[in-house]
Structure 1
Amino acid sequence: MPYCTNCGRKLNDGEVCGCRDAAQQQVQPQQPYEQQPWGYPQNGQPYPNPPYPYPYPYPYPQIKPVAYDGTPLPPPPKPSKMWLLAIIIPFGLFFIALLVLFFAVYMPSARSYSNKAKQRNINSVASGIRSAANDTLNELDIEEEWVMGDYIISSNNALNVYVGFDEEKFYKKEEFHFADLDKYEYFIVVENGKPVYAAVSESWHDKKAYIGTYPLEYDKNTYYYAPVKYSAKGEKVFVKDKETLNDLYEYAREEFEKKLDMKMYKEER
């Protein structure tokens, strides 16, 4: 019995196998490729949007890690931030130490500078009041008021000692020469018609109030000119802490009485 030499099928007598004709019919000549614009088919129409099953963004399945026995593994530990503390804490302590050192050095010096500035200001006021009193006495002398002699005149007329002229006229003229006179309390020691000493403060009895005097003396301990008390012999007696203007007045009055006694004793001799 014959067989097809192409496909090996068994043929009857005189039968011709049609496998070659079928193979020739299936094979079609390949058409030449013509380059088209991107996204466009042969007919020039754009492709429709692809039917994606999921909208954008596309969901991805979350795969949880499991152990070999199928049990889920615990979540991984969060990264530690201890290294931040290891950097921040030393720098914070260093910054705090710098602040403490700064205030320890700066605050005393700033306080000292402020105290000296206030002391210089009240000393300037004392000098101004003394100058105003000198001009006032000169004007009263021209007006033929008896201003010669030794006496103490004060912002409180109850504390005046041996004043022999019109006190109200003195106060009005002195206020003209020193505009801020009503802000201060003061007393002035006058010798032979000339003011030789003045003490000024904002209060008579306040221990914290600054006291300014004229004249001043240089203090070697504080390195600036400090207020002094009135002395009959011209001694240098500095004003102590917590001493009030009233204390300086009582001290000056005692010294003033001593000086008058010494002067009278000399005249008698």
Structure 2
Amino acid sequence: MENVIKELINLVGAPNLLTQDLDPYKVEGKTPKAVVFPDTIPQVSEILALADKERVCIVPRGNGTKLYIGGIPRRVDLVLSLTRLNQVLEYEPADLTVMTQAGMTLADLQSRLASNHQFLALDPPFASKATVGGILSTNSSGPRRLLYGTARDLVIGVRVVHPGGMISKGGGKVVKNVAGYDMNKLYIGALGTLGVLVEVNFKLRPLPRMEKTLWAAFPSLSTASEAVSRIFKSELAPSFLELFNPSASNLLNQVAQLRIPENRFMVAVGVDEVP
């Protein structure tokens, strides 16, 4: 590993390599030997080629909000942090499309899009810190997938660096793209096992004119389920619909101060006024 670290310094420079104070980068209790912070796609390619050549176990990482998902690695030699690949590369408001690097946080991307009254219709956990690459690698779409679809429905193109350093592209930059196989969806939910996402093209939506969340409490599961069924049979098109058991209901009641009776089943319904 000592020779690998020397090679990494040559590739990215000493300021972009961390070899001390590595506890924050543990993966399932395993501390890496180093953390590398590339800021270009060619650097990512060279790092993966080096790791493949030297048989180094590498773990891609964004801001670490979803490292608890997936299998437990046998070992962690090197963490590949993508947080410096954090730029919007192309944005076409008229076409409702954007190309962004995988290390950009969803919050920063949404802030950029909001200036044109647009948004990316994903609402995963820890949205303020989660990166685009981490969200897609774990297929973390959020409750609003009921109306807007999952990450697979919103991605129209990707650029991926594979083990060995090869760079490939899937999909395209426009929504109506029919060239070749739809390979971009292959990497969504793959947890980085097939390659490292470095760039993503998304299709966007106009920001809703209004968003409302409605809550209702029910004495039993059967009455709550009946309400859910009636909502789905109605003309209402909710952005999300969640059914909570009494334990979850009590916790939400306490945190959000909803003033709903304790120990009840709860239904939450989101309604967006879409332009």
Q: Which has the larger strand fraction?
A: 2
Q: TM-score, normalised by structure 2?
A: 0.19
Q: TM-score, normalised by structure 1?
A: 0.19
Q: RCO (CA 8 Å, sep 6+): is it higher in 1 or 2?
A: 2
Q: Which has the larger helix fraction?
A: 1
Pair member with larger Rg = 1
